[in-house]
Amino acid sequence: MSEKLPRQNNSEEIDLGQLFSAIGGLFQKLFNFIGSIFKGILSAIIYTIKPLVVHFKVVVVVLIISVTLGYIYEKTNDPVYYSEMLVKPYFESKYQLSNNINYFNALISSKNVKELSRIFEIDTLSAKELIGFDLEAGPESQNDLFIEYDEYIKSIDTSLVDELTYKDYIDKRDFMSGRVFAIKVKSNNISIFPSLQEGFRKTFENEFSKYQKRVRDTMAYIDRLSLTTELSRLDSIQKTYLAAIREESKNRNLVFGTGSMLPLQEEKRTTKEYELFIREQGIRHKLNELNRTIAEENTFFDILAPFDKLGKKDKSFGYSYRLLFPVIALVLFILWFLALKAFKYIKDYE
Q: Do residues 79 and 181 make contact, with C-beta atoms less than 8 angstroms apart?
A: no
Could you tell me the CA-to-CA distances from 297 to 89, 93, 108 in Å, in that order?
Answer: 9, 12, 33
User: Alpha-carbon distance 250 to 240, whole Å?
Assistant: 16
Q: For 159-227, give the DSSP string.
A: GGTTT--HHHHHHT--GGG-S-EEEEEEES-TT-GGGGHHHHHHHHS-HHHHHHHHHHHHHHHHHHHHH
User: Alpha-carbon distance 98 to 208, whole Å?
Assistant: 14
Q: Do residues 172 and 122 make contact, with C-beta atoms less than 8 angstroms apart?
A: no
User: Alpha-carbon distance 267 to 283, whole Å?
Assistant: 25
- Of 312, 310, 328, 324, the residue nearest 74 (C-alpha): 324
- Encode pLDDT of 329-345 as tens digits: 888 888 888 888 788 77
Strand runs (DSSP E) across the chain, as ranges?
81-89, 130-137, 181-187, 301-305, 312-313
Q: What is the model's pLDDT at position 8?
A: 52
- Proportion of the chain above pLDDT 70, given as a percent: 82
More confident residue, 100 or 169: 100
Question: Residue 107 is inside which H or E element, if any?
Answer: helix 94-109
Residues 6+ apart with CB under 8 A from 208: 91, 92, 93, 95, 96
Q: Do residues 284 and 294 make contact, with C-beta atoms less than 8 angstroms apart?
A: no
Average pLDDT rounded to a whole number, residues 290-315: 82
User: Alpha-carbon distance 291 to 149, whole Å?
Assistant: 23
Q: Do residues 232 and 345 make contact, with C-beta atoms less than 8 angstroms apart?
A: no
User: Alpha-carbon distance 267 to 38, whole Å?
Assistant: 85
Q: What is the model's pLDDT at position 9?
A: 54
- Encode pLDDT of 141-191 as tens digits: 777 777 777 777 776 666 666 666 777 777 777 777 778 899 999 998 888
Average pLDDT rounded to a whole number, residues 290-295: 80
The winner for highest mean pLDDT among 77-81, 117-121, 258-262, 319-323 is: 117-121
Confidence bin at 257 (pLDDT 50/70/90): very low
User: Alpha-carbon distance 97 to 138, whole Å?
Assistant: 14
Q: Domain ranges in the chain?
A: 4-74+323-348, 78-209+303-315
Q: Which of 20-24, 60-64, 117-121 has the lowest mean pLDDT?
A: 20-24
